[in-house]
C-alpha cells in the first residue's frame, strides 16, 4: 500500500511537469483561404534575391484569411482553439543550389523573413514568427523551371534566432513566451504553383536562382514549440521524489 502511494505521488508529479512542458502546435489548411491563393512569389530584377509574400495582391478580398488552429496541450485530447486570422508573410531568398535527384531536380534556396497572424475581429496579433535560416525547396522535372509544389522548413536546431512571439489572444489561453521558448519549428507546404496573373507560362529559374516570372500558390502550415519546465514544476517533481521515501519509511 505504501509503495502504491509512492507511485501515485510520483506519477502525479511527473504529469504536472509534463503538462507544464507540453508542445503547443499551430496549423492552417491550404483551403482555409477559399477566395484566392495563399502565396505570391517574384524575383528582383538584376538580383538573385527572390521575394515571397502572402498573396493579398491576388486575393479577391485583398487579404489572406486563414483559420489558425492552436492546440495548447500537445498530443493530449482537446485543447484546440481556432482563430480567424489575417495571414501576413514576407520572406527573401539568398543562397541557391540545384542538384539531380530521383529522376528530377531538387532546387533549394535559403530564406529569412517574418510572418504573423492577426485576429480579424479584435485586430490583435495572435502569433508572430521571425526566422533567418529557413530552406525553400522545389522538386522539378527541369533544372531551369520551378516545380508545381514546394516547401518551406525551419527549426531551432538550424536557426538559433528563430522566435515565436505570442500575442494577447494566445496569452489569454495561457501560452506565454516561456511556453514557446524551445524546440521551435515550422513548415509550409505549397501546392498548385502557377504563373500569375495569367496561368500557363513556364516558371523559369535564372542561372543565379532568380524567379523570372511572378507566381502564386496555395499553402498549408504547421508549427510547434515547447516550454521549459519552470522552478515550480521542478519543485513539484522534487517533492514527489522526496515524499515517496518518507511514506515508505512510515
| Strands, E assignment, 74-201 | 80-101, 104-119, 125-140, 150-155, 163-166, 182-195
pLDDT tens, residue order, the chain (250 aa): 444 433 433 333 333 334 456 899 999 998 777 778 999 999 987 777 999 999 998 887 789 999 999 999 888 888 899 999 999 999 999 999 999 999 999 999 999 999 999 999 999 999 999 999 999 999 999 999 999 999 999 999 999 999 999 999 999 999 999 999 999 999 999 999 999 887 778 899 998 899 999 999 999 999 999 997 655 444 434 444 444 444 444 4
Judged on CB neighbours under 10 Å (0-12, 13-18, 19+), 75 is exposed
Residues 6+ apart with CB under 8 A from 238: none
- Residue 144: the pLDDT is 94
Task: Please give the distance of CA 112 from its chain centroid, rounded to a whole number.
Answer: 13
Q: State pTM to two decimals.
A: 0.83
- List pLDDT tens digits, range 36-87: 899 999 998 777 799 999 999 888 778 999 999 999 988 888 889 999 999 9
CA neighbours closer than 13 Å in the CB half-sphere of residue 56: 10
Residues 6+ apart with CB under 8 A from 113: 52, 89, 90, 91, 92, 130, 131, 134
Structure-block grid coordinates of residue 71? 492546440
Q: How many helices and strands in the chain, by DSSP H and E? A: 3, 11
Structure-block grid coordinates of residue 104? 528530377
Q: Is residue 50 within 8 Å of 44, Cβ to Cβ?
A: yes
- CA–CA separation, 101 vs 88, rounded Å? 33
- CA–CA separation, 133 vs 116, rounded Å? 17
Amino acid at each position: 500500500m505504501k509503495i502504491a502511494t509512492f507511485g501515485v505521488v510520483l506519477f502525479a508529479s511527473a504529469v504536472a511537469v509534463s503538462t507544464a512542458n507540453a508542445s503547443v502546435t499551430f496549423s492552417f489548411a491550404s483551403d482555409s483561404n477559399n477566395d484566392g491563393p495563399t502565396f505570391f512569389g517574384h524575383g528582383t530584377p538584376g538580383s538573385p534575391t527572390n521575394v515571397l509574400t502572402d498573396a493579398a495582391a491576388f486575393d479577391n478580398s485583398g487579404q489572406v484569411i486563414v483559420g489558425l488552429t492552436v492546440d495548447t496541450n500537445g498530443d493530449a485530447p482537446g485543447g484546440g482553439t481556432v482563430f480567424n486570422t489575417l495571414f501576413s508573410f514576407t520572406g527573401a531568398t539568398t543562397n541557391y543550389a540545384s542538384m539531380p535527384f530521383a529522376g528530377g531536380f531538387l532546387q533549394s534556396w535559403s530564406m529569412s523573413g517574418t510572418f504573423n497572424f492577426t485576429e480579424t475581429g479584435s485586430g490583435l496579433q495572435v502569433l508572430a514568427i521571425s526566422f533567418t535560416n529557413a530552406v525553400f525547396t522545389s522538386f522539378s522535372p527541369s533544372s531551369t523551371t520551378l516545380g508545381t509544389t514546394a516547401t518551406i522548413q525551419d527549426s531551432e536546431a538550424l536557426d538559433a534566432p528563430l522566435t515565436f512571439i505570442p500575442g494577447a489572444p494566445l496569452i489569454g489561453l495561457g501560452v506565454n513566451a516561456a511556453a514557446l521558448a524551445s524546440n521551435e519549428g515550422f513548415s509550409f507546404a505549397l501546392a498548385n504553383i502557377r504563373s500569375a496573373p495569367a496561368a500557363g507560362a513556364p516558371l523559369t529559374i535564372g542561372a543565379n536562382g532568380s524567379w523570372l516570372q511572378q507566381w502564386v500558390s496555395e499553402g498549408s502550415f504547421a508549427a510547434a514549440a515547447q516550454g521549459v519546465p519552470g522552478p515550480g514544476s521542478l519543485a513539484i517533481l522534487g517533492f514527489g521524489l522526496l515524499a515517496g521515501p518518507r511514506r515508505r519509511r512510515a
